[in-house]
Each structure stands twice: as C-alpha cells, then as structure tokens.
Structure 1
Amino acid sequence: MGKIHNLEQNGSNQNLQVDQKTAQQYQDAVKHLQEFREGQGWSKYHNLKDLALSLSLESSEVLEIFQWQAEDIPLTEQKRIHLEEELADVLTYTFFMCDQLNLDPVKLVEAKTKINNRRSWDV
C-alpha cells in the first residue's frame, strides 16, 4: 500500500465534506443517482466494499478499450463513445462512495492536488 497522506493539515478532512460550498450540480446528480438506486432496489448492495469492487471493474472496462491499440492511434468515434460511457460508470461509483463518506469529490481532488504539488517523482 502506498503512503497515506492527510488531505488537510489538521488531519480532520472536515473541509472535504459536502456543505454549502459543494456544487449544486454535483448534489443534484447524487440525488438522481440515489433515486435511481432506490427505484432499482439496489441499496443493500451499495456498501463501500461492493462499490469499490464495482469501481474497479468499471475502471477495467476503461482500460479494455485501449487493449492492443497502439498509443499513437486516435480513438475511433465508436471507441470514444464507449469510453465516455465507461467513464460515466466510473464516476457513478465514485459519486456513490463519496456520498456514503459525505465527501465532496471536487474538494477531495483539490486537496490531493495540493499534496501532489509538494511531491516529486523520478521519471
């Protein structure tokens, strides 16, 4: 497992939670996802472990689009559409996980970017 970083200096991560600063568009999207999930009766399957498994599987589907394709070949229109659909699935499971943890994904990414800006990698 990689090094774990506190995303906030005080280690509380309270500023990463959904609050009045969280984009309304994200909150609306999560509400629609929750309504869809409830309508399908899937709530019992949406624990963090199963969401993480589903996120991994959908990420693999993103990777599969590029399997055996040279990196200098642009995506066909069909593959681009497929990629967009799989990215939507990845984001959906990410949003479900963030919702369960009461985390704002934009704040989460911003906090991690601040950490990465202080790091260096040998390339």
Structure 2
Amino acid sequence: MRWDNHLPRMSATDATTTLAELKKRILAFSHEREWEQFHAPKNLSMALAAEAGELMEHFLWATSEASRTTVQDPAKRAKIEEELADVIIYALEFANMTGIDAAAAIERKMAANAKKYPVEKARGRSDKYTEL
C-alpha cells in the first residue's frame, strides 16, 4: 500500500502548509521505501549536516552582499531551494524518528533565545549573549 495515496498532492506554501502535513509526507515517503532501518538519529544528524554543507557551498567565499545577489539569480536560487529543502526534510525526518515535536521544540528554543537576547540589549548587535 502506498502511504502517500491518502495525502493530497500539495501546492505547498509556507502560508498554507503545516509542519504536521510536511512530517506526514516525509514519513510516508520514507516508509514506502522502507528507509526507517537507516534513519537512526546518528545517520539523520549526519545527513542533515552534509546537506547544510551543500547549502553553504553556494555561498562559499562570497561577500555578504554577493550572497544576497546569489539568491536572486533564478538558476542559482533553484539549486539553493533544493539544498534548503534537503536540510528541512532531514530535520523533520529526525523529528519523526525521535518523536520530537518540532513546533514545540522551536517554541521552547525561541523562548530561551528571547531570555538570552532581550530586545533592549540585543537590538542591532551580533554579540553572543554572554557579551551583551
């Protein structure tokens, strides 16, 4: 049985697609291929890091301004989007395989960051929280 038969084909956008929907699609994709056996936290974290490296390669040695220009070039942007998608897919697959609620984890981390980087101290600064 194809697990994704029950999931509508998505015309996904950030405004219309939930994390839960994405996690279901990713889980179905992996399950159909019987890839769970390979998706230990160690392997997924390594794959995530590798894909993040591939994303970074698009900006290697570029100035900050050149990196902003790079993402505006349609051909380069398409490749960058693919690498970003790989990073997000592996992050959500990691959440799937470990039972981590990604949205809750993000909320907790954002709350912790708000305490470490209060607006009145961190606005316009790139210092580490211990230096504020």
Alpha-carbon distance in 2 for matches of 1:65, 1:77: 13
- Residue aligned with 1:111, SS: helix
- TM-score w.r.t. the length of structure 2 is 0.68
Summarize deviations over 1:6-37 as a string: whole Å, max 9, x none. Answer: xxxxxxxxxxxxxxxxxx83222222212211
Equivalent position amino acid for 2:95 in 1: C
Instruction: Tell me what 1:67 maps to.
Output: 60
Equivalent position amino acid for 2:44 in 1: L
1:91 maps onto 2:84 in alignment: no
CA-based RMSD of the aligned residues comes to 1.8
Could you tell me which runs of 5 or more consecutive residues in structure 2 were left unpaired when the two chains were aligned. 1-16, 117-128
Summarize deviations over 1:24-69 as a string: whole Å, max 9, x none. Answer: 8322222221221122232211111100110000000110010122
Q: After the TM superposition, which parts of structure 1 deviate over 3 Å for at least 4 consecutive aligned residues? A: none
| Higher-Rg member (1/2) | 2
- TM-score w.r.t. the length of structure 1 is 0.72
Instruction: Tell me what 2:124 maps to.
Output: none
- Of residues 34, 37, 41, the one that matches 1:48 is 41
CA deviation after TM superposition for structure 1 residue 103, in Å: 2.0
CA deviation after TM superposition for structure 1 residue 121, in Å: 4.1
Identity of aligned residues (%): 26
Instruction: Tell me what 2:109 maps to.
Output: 112
Could you tell me which runs of 5 or more consecutive residues in structure 1 were left unpaired when the two chains were aligned. 1-23
